[in-house]
Amino acid sequence: FSPKPQVLRRGGSDPEGLEGLLQRAGGSVRAAGTLPLREDGLEKVGGVRAGDDELDVAIVGGGMVGLAVACALSNMPLTKHLRVAVIDSNPALKSTNYLKKDGIPDSRVSTVTPATISFFRDIGAWEHILQQRHAFFGKMQVWDYTGLGYTRYNASDVCKEYLGCVVENKVLCNSLLLRLQEQKEDIEKMVYPTRLVSLAFPSKSRNVGVAGLKPPSTEAEELRRSNLVKLDLSDGQTLYSKLVVGADGSKSNVRQIAGIKTTGWSYPQSAIICTVEHTAENDTAWQRFLPSGPIALLPIGDNFSNIVWTMSPEEASRHKSMSSEDFVMSVNRALDFGYGPHPNSSSLDHYVERLFSDFGGTAASTKECFEVPPRAIGLISERMAFPLSLMHSHDYVSKRLALVGDAAHTVHPLAGQGVNLGFGDAAALAKVISEGVSVGADIGDLSLLNRYENDRKGANVAMAAVLDGFQKMYSVDFGPLNVLRAAAFHGAQYISPLKKNIISYAMGDRKSPLFS
């Protein structure tokens, strides 16, 4: 599937107005001697009507990535007519108002990269996020407990205005829902507030061959349905769909039913997340690697920041159960003077900086000094703890099935990339479905879905490997390795071209950190 019509020799293009006029007139330049337009509507063909329970795309899981797929499909001109349904029992999917900004920020937040932001802009959901709480940040500082080095990143290094934006997950979901509501009037019918109980993929055994006893319409219906995926829902309904999209998270039910194997391992770490308050606004993303795992402080708007602190499971349960004052003190210690000294730069660093500034210009942040992160003055949300693991599916697709988001892969949260990979999947899948519709293909066809897998698998595996590498590198306290890591910090801080590459890769603008 490589539709490239621009290669053809074109005589000239019709002005937009003429085509539109002809379309609105309901006809076309038809040669003489042909039959008039059929009176049938879209669904009734040859006397066979597709039932209300027959869908084109059934998205199992109405989280951020599942809703992003639905939104992308409803936004593209070639796919907006497809019958899409979202199956998720979360009652939040039924609410349709803007979330107020003055409430307490939720601890579950995501950092969206500029690549994801432009995807949201394309599907028309970003403007809804701008109406709710969100926080752009333009600076980032990464260092570790040894005090041997630090790296600062600035959006102006790559001539951008921001490195990313931190948004609460519920705000992301809500914006996608609001956009869907704008696109489709019958959004009520689109969301099925139930759980999926079982799936049956089409196979030869499902072909029911009872001839002659049933009326022809039922036989035709059965023949049609035997080619679709059958979804049984918990409220007793049965749906049939040409394509099932599994967006139901890391413990995906759909993936298990389809029998897709995964590879992965648990990290010996859990992450604690919570929201803290400062005296002033925080505009930088901070991350410090401690002996047991990184602690990240992300701005989420106003004077609030989100903490993601990775540590061993025992430490995690201890930190979860201690009093909030003790916890705040522990956080400040972890971000500031605890575990090791502050890093500072030496004359060697300045020499390296001058050396590399000849290649490809300086980045503004190479001159910035180390700063101490802002102090947390209070804990304003509950602390939540999650175990961390790496998981990757062997296949993203099978006949009439595609997996997106966490159902296909989970990564370590240390670089805030997880959900961005999921949104990348959603964009790629919608694009592949659109290409399939443009050549009249069956959207559940495996060769079409394989294009999605080939597009995303490489990128996702590479990112997961990079993050896994980082996790392993920073979990060992070993002299020579510490020096290596320090050298890496210094390199990333003072070698401008390398720094720009790293930033672009993390922002989603490049496919690979080293090679273009």
Which of 200, 329, 380, 441 binds another protein (CB under 8 A)? It is 441
Q: Which of residues 70-89 bind another protein (CB under 8 A)?
A: 77-81
Give the Cβ contact number of residue 476 at 10 Å.
10
Quick note: the x/- pattern for another protein over 315-354, rule CB under 8 A, is ----------------------------------------
Out of 15, 17, 46, 259, which residue is the one contacting another protein (CB under 8 A)?
A: 46
Nearer to another protein, 19 or 281 (CB): 19
Contact mark string toward another protein, 409..438, x via CB under 8 A: --------------------------xxxx
Give the relative orientation of helices 496-507 and 347-356 as an angle to the nearest 10 degrees: 80
Residue 406 has what DSSP assignment? G
Place of tokens 């099978």: 398
Please give the distance of CA 484 from its chain centroid, rounded to a whole number.
32
Environment class of 77 (CB within 10 Å of its CB; exposed 0-12, middle 13-18, buried 19+): exposed
Distances 111 to 98, 423, 465 between C-alpha atoms, Å: 20, 12, 20
| Stretch 199-238 residues interacting with another protein (CB under 8 A) | 220, 223-224, 226-227
Q: Rule CB under 8 A: is residue 440 a binding residue for another protein?
A: yes
- When asked if residue 17 is in the footprint of another protein (CB under 8 A), the reply is no
Could you tell me which residues come within 8 angstroms of residue 105 by beta carbon, excluding any fewer than 6 positions away? 133, 168, 275, 300, 301, 304, 306, 380, 381
CA–CA distance, 42 with 81 (Å, rounded to integer): 10
Does the protein bind another protein through residue 186 (CB under 8 A)? Answer: no
Region of 18-26, 125-133, 313-321, 497-505 interacting with another protein (CB under 8 A): 18-26
Rounded to a whole number of angstroms, the distance between the first and last alpha carbons of the chain is: 25
- Phi/psi zone of residue 237: left (φ > 0), alpha (ψ -120 to 50 degrees), beta? beta
Residue of the chain from 117, 142, 442, 479 that contacts another protein (CB under 8 A): 442
Q: Establish if 369 lies at the interface with another protein (CB under 8 A).
A: no
Q: Measured on CA atoms in the order 6, 7, 12, 14, is the torsion positive or negative?
A: negative
Q: Does residue 366 belong to the site contacting another protein (CB under 8 A)?
A: no
Which one of 88-96, 299-307, 401-409, 442-450 is the stretch in contact with another protein (CB under 8 A)? 442-450
- Specify the 3-state DSSP secondary structure of 410: strand
Q: How far is the CB of 393 from another protein (least distance, A)?
A: 22
Considering only residues 29, 211, 213, 280, which one is a binding residue for another protein as defined by CB under 8 A?
Answer: 29
* DSSP-assigned letters across all residues of 101-129: TTSPPPS-EEEEPHHHHHHHHHHT-HHHH
Q: Which residues of 9-20 are buried (b: 16+ CB within 10 A; e: fewer)?
A: eeeeeeeeeeee
* Cβ nearer to another protein, comparing 134 with 242: 242
Q: Closest distance between another protein and the C-beta of residue 62, in Å?
A: 25
Q: Which of 447, 461, 483, 484 binds another protein (CB under 8 A)?
A: 447
Task: Output the smallest distance, CB 26 to another protein, in A.
Answer: 9
3 binds another protein (CB under 8 A): yes
Report the interface residues with another protein, using CB under 8 A.
1-5, 7-11, 14, 18-20, 22-23, 27-38, 42-43, 45-46, 48-50, 77-81, 220, 223-224, 226-227, 435-442, 446-447
